[in-house]
Amino acid sequence: MAYLIRGETGDWEMVIGLEVHAQITANSKLFSGSATDFGSEANTQVSFVDAAMPGMLPVLNQYCVEQAVRTGLGLNAAVNKYSVFERKNYFYPDLPQGYQISQFLHPIVGKGVVEIDLPDGTTKEIGITRLHMEQDAGKSVHDMHPKKSFVDLNRSGSALMEIVSEPDIRSPEEATAYITKLRMILRYLGTCDGNMDEGSMRCDVNLSMRKPGAPFGTRCEIKNVNSIKAVQMAIDYEAQRQIEVLENGGVIKQETRLWDPAKGETRSMRSKEEAHDYRYFPDPDLLPLTLTDELIARIKATLPELPDEKKHRFMGDYGLSLYDAGVLIAERERADFFESAAKGRDAKLCANWVLNELLGRLNKDGKTLSDSPVSAENLGGLIDRIADNTISGRIAKDVFAEMMDSGTTADSIIDAKGLKQVTDTGAIEAVIDSVMAENPQMVADYRGGKDKLFGFFVGQVMKKSGGKANPAAVNDLLKSKLDG
């Protein structure tokens, strides 16, 4: 079902392409040995190369190249064995060389595809145009002094992948799903940490409007869209703006616009006429990059199972629903936790525990899976006690809460607190007898036809047994005593 916006002149369809800048996870920068830790003191991760001192030369970081290849393979894309670093020339204080080393005519990765999952349970393929490697710029700081600006070069020269999508996206939901899936893939691959709030993943949105079936309209590029929520808001705003212009007889000018998250609007940065002439040319300090088949094969052999494969396997092997499988594979760590807890156990039961109890509680406590007090092994131990009827599902919730507080095993809590389920029929019968003796009127009413009172008796028996009585046994015995 196409996502259309109703305007005064009829329906409008959005055409969206995204450019995502993803910082490559690596210990050092693309062309220098400087560290790349986020949040370090300003200008402490800057080599002579990063500061563009006279006579300094770039040396390509092989690990970053491998990360880009790994990403290309993860995006089902063609890896180009020949690629070229070029200089993109422009002046800015946080661009020390006066040019950014990037790839232009010959990127390292060509066409690929990403499958996105939509809220209605369907999937859609979004094409990848290309992926190229480039240097990041430093950071200008304008709010520390009334008249001066400051420059922090820590990020200068860090390795980025620019991942460009085809204009295949048709709604804010698809855009969100695309970024979410892309980030998931990068995290699975370990090639980008995907932390948008730390700036290690940033997004530019290209958007145009058209009447359904019409050719593409003129697009605007929106920069500085740096969270998933912002992508959605920027698209909504820009779509409305363009419709208004078009419906009032205006034309969209091709331009670069800036998303202002504070005001929730996009505004013009520079027109096509004012666009920089970047004067790209091959960087004479670097030879063309050539990759061998062996290197590509070696990287391919070490690729992890990717989210979509994992999702389908979880559905097939464990009989999980699309939704449950989707939530479990959203993070590689979560999927691993589930698989390790589910090993040799009832997988659906495990999935329920991970999804409903564990993730719910962690979320409430503001914790992530990596600092969960309950390990996968211990969660498995708890599920074992449910399976062998040592405790009931209800008691298990109490035990779990205790495990989250103390970090100990289910068994030790069950032993210490004497929570072992009572299955001894004699003991249960004694409790039933005393409950019936205490409530003669209720017994009479039940026997007179008030079937609904059965639940009352179950509750009383469970209460009196401290919850330890086996619910199935209570049901059976109670039924025969009341009816008898």
Partner 1 sequence: MTELTNLTISEALAKLGKKEISATELTQAHITAIEKNRHLNAFITETPDIALSMAKASDERYAKGTAGALEGIPLGIKDLFCTKGTRTTAASNILNNFVPQYESTVTSKFWKDGALMLGKLNLDEFAMGSANTTSHFGNVLNPWKRNNGDTTDLVPGGSSGGSSAAVAARMVMGATGTDTGGSIRQPAAFCGISGIKPTYGRCSRWGVVAFASSLDQAGVFARNVEDCATLLQSCAGHDPMDSTSANLPVPDFKALLTGSVKGMKIGIPKEYRMDGTPEEIIKIWDQGIEWMKDAGAEIVNVSLPHTEYALPTYYIIAPAECSSNLARYDGVRYGLRVEGENLIDQYERTRAAGFGNEVKRRIMIGTYVLSAGYYDAYYVKAQKLRRLIYNDFMNAFEKVDALLTPTAPSAAFGIGENEDDPIKMYLNDVFTVPCSLAGLPGMSVPAGVDSLGLPLGLQIIGKPWDEVTVFNVSRAIERAANFTAMPATVVSKAA
Least distance between partner 1 and beta carbon 282 (Å): 9
Closest C-alpha among 29, 146, 161 to residue 96: 29
Query: For partner 1, which is the closer residue by CB, 156 or 372?
Result: 156
CB of 89 to partner 1, least distance (A): 5
Least Cβ distance, residue 217 to partner 1 (angstroms) = 24
CB of 26: closest distance to partner 1 in angstroms?
18
User: φ, ψ for residue 110 (rounded to 5)?
Assistant: -100, -140
Per the structure block, which two tokens stand in for 244?
């208004």
Q: What is the rounded distance in angstroms from the CA atom of residue 78 to the CA atom of residue 81?
A: 9
Residue 63 DSSP SS3: helix
3-state secondary structure 87-108: EEECCCCCCCCCEEEEECCCCC
Closer CB to partner 1, 55 or 484, in the complex: 55
Task: CB nearer to partner 1: give 116 or 151.
Answer: 151
User: Whose Cβ is closer to partner 1: residue 3's or residue 48's?
Assistant: 48
- CA 8, CA 227: separation in Å to the nearest integer? 31
376-387 and 393-406 helices cross at what angle (nearest 10)? 160
CB 151 → partner 1: shortest distance, Å? 7
Alpha helices in 131-255 (DSSP H): 172-189, 228-247
What is the distance between the alpha carbons of residues 312 and 4, in angstroms, rounded to a whole number? 31
Residues ≥6 apart with Cβ < 8 Å to 317 = 347
Q: Which is nearer to partner 1, 116 or 137 (CB)?
A: 137
Residue number, 57 or 214, with CB nearest to partner 1: 57
The amino acid that residue 63 corresponds to is Y
Closest contact distance (angstroms) between CB of 211 and partner 1 is 33
Least separation, in Å, of the C-beta of 85 and partner 1? 10
* Phi, psi (deg, nearest 5) at residue 448: -80, 0
Shortest Å distance, C-beta 221 to partner 1 = 18
Residues in contact with partner 1 by CB under 8 A are 48, 51-60, 87, 89, 91, 93, 96-99, 149, 151, 277, 279-281, 284-287
Give the nearer residue to partner 1 in terms of CB position, either 60 or 258: 60
With tokens 């996870």, the residue in question is 25
CA Rg, the chain, in Å?
Answer: 30
Q: Which is nearer to partner 1, 100 or 200 (CB)?
A: 100
Nearer to partner 1, 153 or 359 (CB): 153
Nearer to partner 1, 100 or 460 (CB): 100
Q: Which residues contact 142 (CB under 8 A, 6 or more apart)?
A: 149, 150
Query: What letter would DSSP give residue 356?
Result: I
* CA torsion through residues 462, 468, 471, 476, sign: negative
Note whether 135 and 109 are within 8 A (CB).
Answer: no
- Dihedral of CA atoms 236, 238, 240, 245 in degrees, nearest 10, equals -170
- Cβ atoms < 10 Å from Cβ of 406: 13
Q: Which of 109, 142, 124 is nearest to 181 (CA)?
A: 124
| SS3 state at 468 | coil
CB of 42 to partner 1, least distance (A): 14
Instruction: Compute the least distance from the CB of residue 175 to partner 1, in Å.
Output: 31
DSSP class of residue 279?
A: -
Q: Which is nearer to partner 1, 100 or 226 (CB)?
A: 100
Q: In the complex, what is the shortest distance from the CB of residue 162 to partner 1, in angstroms, rounded to a whole number? A: 20
- DSSP letter at 297 equals H
Q: Which of 480, 437, 483, 426 is nearest to 460 (CA)?
A: 437
